[in-house]
Structure 1
Amino acid sequence: MGLYRDEGVVLRTQKLGEADRIVTILTKRTGKVRAVAKGVRRTMSRFGARLEPFTHVDLQLHTGRSLDVITQAETLHPYGEAVVRDYARYTAGSAMLEAADRITVAEKEPALRQFLLLVGGLRTLAAGEHEPRLVLDAYFLRSLAVAGYAPALTECARCGAQAVRAFAIAAGGVVCARCRPAGAAVPAAETIALMIALLRGDWAAADASEPRHRAECSGLIAAYLQWHLEHGIRSLRHVERV
């Protein structure tokens, strides 16, 4: 039992009793933490909006038996202020938070790279310099790469051949004509190029892409992500309506 400090991004909250909340946070050093914020739902709570989703916060916590307790919270970056004002950004950001929660399964296992990716993704989303869905797809691809599930995009996922023909989720990415399984998607070459640009952070190429290739890219990435997570991302249903 003791105090510790960390910084993190609030992923989600849920009510506990009449005035408390359980807050799930992806932290920089500790990993994913579920902690109780006592009295946060009261009008005069000292935490106020500091423990709302999308907020990058500096925390002091007290270790508990099952759930830690948040004793101090200071806002570092209120990304939610910019994100919630725009529907497209809000739905994309919600999908990012949900995916971060799903990808970092175990609690209190350090996940520094996932944390940095999430902070970077939210910062980019809040800045509004790129289409929200492109930011979301870039975040998905990079998070999958950090987790060890990066799709093959430049050579066949099964045999390594350079002449790729289709995209097979179960095979791990692009495949050649010989390795192509039944039912594999056959995306446009520009769609695969967009996926490569998003994974590499080539925003000039990504921003110049056509809407039809963005739509095809988003569909493949969403399917690939959910197949590897073995769980649907509910927030994507709202993103896809934008």
Structure 2
Amino acid sequence: MRENFRDRALVIRTYDFGEADRIIVLLTRNHGLVRGVAKGVRRAKSRFGSRLQLFVNLDVQLYPGRNLYTIAQADTVDYFGARIIEDYERYTAACAALESAERLAAADAPGDPYLYEACVDVLNQLQHGDPLLLLDAFLLKSMSHAGWAPSLFDCAQCQRPGPHHAFHPAVGGAACHQCRPPGAAEVDPETLHHMWLIAHGHPSQPTHAQAQEAHRLTRAHLQWHLERSVGALGIMEQ
């Protein structure tokens, strides 16, 4: 039987429900992905005010219902949207990070705070940093935590030392000339080196072409493992 709980939570997504309610998708620190209904939140005098919106970090109290939790109390801890919503690239990167986190959290074990803390960290860094590099670093680290880290130097199939010039998600990342599958992307080894650096928290200064190529590879690797697309990621390439 589910029990009521209090936790820190990021608002990941919202959608209207009924006449005046709204369903809030929350990524919590200790309880994984939770869907809760905020009753009456769309009324002008709602007690929740504007707290239940994207990019808000909450201290939230939830009570279990038949299918959804009910949000009984929500207090703002941090709001990351002030600088994000006024910049298109930051906004798109933040949305892509949250959408990816929602997909990753579906398979994440409740009680593991990694994704919540990673999202808080990337939203905070997006206030000032390079949106594309921060997003890709977040995705690569999150995939590594999930056990999906791409091989970025040695061949993912035979472990032949790199650097290599091919990449394919189906084989696990970099591929040597013997293991290279049909349809593998031809890549600059410096792009893979850049991906390795940001995946391990090191600074990197890629060229524009390398940053764009790294994003395409990161996106392809994530979506291959998720077995579905992440819409906001495609917008970053446009």
8 Å CA contact 2:51–2:76 kept in 1: the answer is yes
Query: TM-score, normalized by length of structure 1?
Result: 0.93
Residue 191 of structure 2: aligned partner: 191
Q: Tell me the residue number matched to 2:145.
A: 146
- Corresponding position: 1:179 with 2:179: yes
Matches within 5 A, 1:78-89: 78-89=79-90
1:28-48 CA deviation, whole Å, 9 max, x = no partner?
A: 011110001011111111212
State the superposition RMSD in angstroms.
1.5
Letter in 1 for 2:172: G
Identity percentage of aligned residues = 42
Q: Give unpaired runs (5+ residues) of structure 2.
A: none
Structure 2 match to 1:117? 118
| Cα distance, 1:24 vs structure 2 | 0.5
The corresponding residue for 1:66 is: 67
1:136 aligns with 2:135: yes
Choose from 207, 214, 217 the match for 2:214: 217
In the alignment, structure 1 segments of 5+ residues that lack a partner are: none
State the one-letter code of the partner of 2:216: G
Distance 1:113 1:135, change over 3 A: same
Distance in 1 (CA, whole Å) between partners of 2:107 and 2:45 is 34
Q: CA deviation at 1:236?
A: 2.1
Asked if 2 retains the 8 angstrom alpha-carbon contact of 1:92 and 1:239, the reply is yes
TM-score norm. by structure 2 comes to 0.95
After superposition, the C-alpha distances for 1:140-182 in whole angstroms (9 at most, x for unaligned) are 1111111110001121111111033311210001111111112
Question: Which aligned segments of 4 or more residues in structure 1 are displaced greater than 6 angstroms?
Answer: none
Partner in structure 2 of residue 229 of structure 1:
226
Is the CA contact 2:25–2:36 (under 8 Å) kept in the aligned structure 1? yes
Deviation at 1:107, TM superposition (A): 8.4
Q: 1:165 & 1:178 partners in 2: Cα distance?
A: 12
